[in-house]
Amino acid sequence: MEKLNTLLEDDVDQAVQGNQQALTRIVNSVSQDVFQMAMRFLWHPQDAEDATQEILIKIITNLSRFRGESRFQTWVYRIASNTLMTVKAKKAELQALSFDAFSEDLARDLSVSPEAIDPLPFDARLQDEVRIGCTLAMLLCLDRKHRLAYILGEIMELEHEEASDVLSISKVAYRKQLSRARSAIQNLMTSRCGLVEPRNPCRCNHRVSCAVERGHVDPENLIFASAGEQTATFPEVLETIRALDASRRAAALYQSHPDLFAGVNFSAWLRKLVSTTEQMVAANNLRFDDV
């Protein structure tokens, strides 16, 4: 990790001086981490792509402002966090439930008997879709500052000093935010989620029919489910999660999510961004401090 940061910081110096290849390496190195962070914060891939675009543009146009007072990735996370805190709320966030309402919703899904759907060849992937979508939706129950604290501290596992630096708050304030967020997520999962607490009745396969019937899951257009390999290995991963101390299971469940990648359109946009920026650098027209 430290070696990567050193390489990135060297690339920043070169990019600011007009090195096109260095700029390309920077964008390619940070784009996936930024997208993953935005996905956890905003839930929906399209919203995460929109936010990631805004974040990457800010990173590129502010490169000359990086002074090396923190790790480059810390600086990137700070820009990402500031952007996510101020981005306009989209549909998923506007429809987010309180923790009590979310808990009641989970119980209600298990008490109703929707019309059974025909088994599909990728039924295991439908369960993955429910599992990942449901746990990410739990994060939306947190307000933005506590959601960011949880993502940085519990899922990304940043040290408290770095996370507080990212959020531009004191370590004491960060620890309080993280503690409150951790308690809220753990309480919900411990009381309802059958993944974290095997004695709970909630099971992802029991919720698939309800999710499809209500339109929360589209079997023809899965958002979160990964390739078959991850689906096949999850039972083994779940055994490892359940063997952990109860206080660590929720975070481990989030960390078990497969890496989600932006769509084809975003990839095309990213290539165009890099190409356009390189052309501007080559023409000496790019001002890195132009916000």
pLDDT by residue (tens digit) across 41-50? 999 999 999 9
Contact 194, 201 (CB under 8 A): yes
Which pLDDT belongs to residue 33?
Answer: 95
Q: What's the distance, Cα to Cα, between the start and end of the chain in Å?
A: 29
Q: Could you give the 3-state DSSP secondary structure of residue 202? A: strand
* Residue 3 pLDDT class (50, 70, 90 cuts): low
CA distance 87 to 42: 10
Round the average pLDDT of the chain to a whole number and report it. Answer: 87
Nearest to 242 by CA among 229, 254, 253: 253
Task: Enter the pTM of the model.
Answer: 0.89
Q: What is the pLDDT of residues 88-134, one digit of tens each?
A: 998 899 999 999 999 998 887 766 554 444 444 447 888 899 999 99
Q: Could you give the 3-state DSSP secondary structure of residue 193? A: strand
Interval 256-268 mean pLDDT: 87
Helical H runs in the chain? 2-16, 20-42, 45-61, 72-86, 91-94, 99-111, 123-139, 144-150, 160-167, 171-192, 204-213, 228-242, 246-255, 264-282
CA distance 43 to 130: 13
Percentage of the residues of the chain whose pLDDT score is greater than 70: 87
Which pLDDT belongs to residue 31?
Answer: 94
Contact 139, 147 (CB under 8 A): yes
Who has greater pLDDT, 227 or 238?
Answer: 238
Per the structure block, which two tokens stand in for 27? 């964008």
CA distance 181 to 250: 12
Contact 41, 81 (CB under 8 A): no
* Residue 274 pLDDT class (50, 70, 90 cuts): confident
Q: What are phi and psi of 120, to 5 degrees?
A: -110, 155
Q: Which of 21-25, 194-198, 281-285 has the highest mean pLDDT?
A: 194-198
Which pLDDT belongs to residue 281?
Answer: 58
- In this model, does residue 282 exceed pLDDT 70? no
CA distance 211 to 226: 18
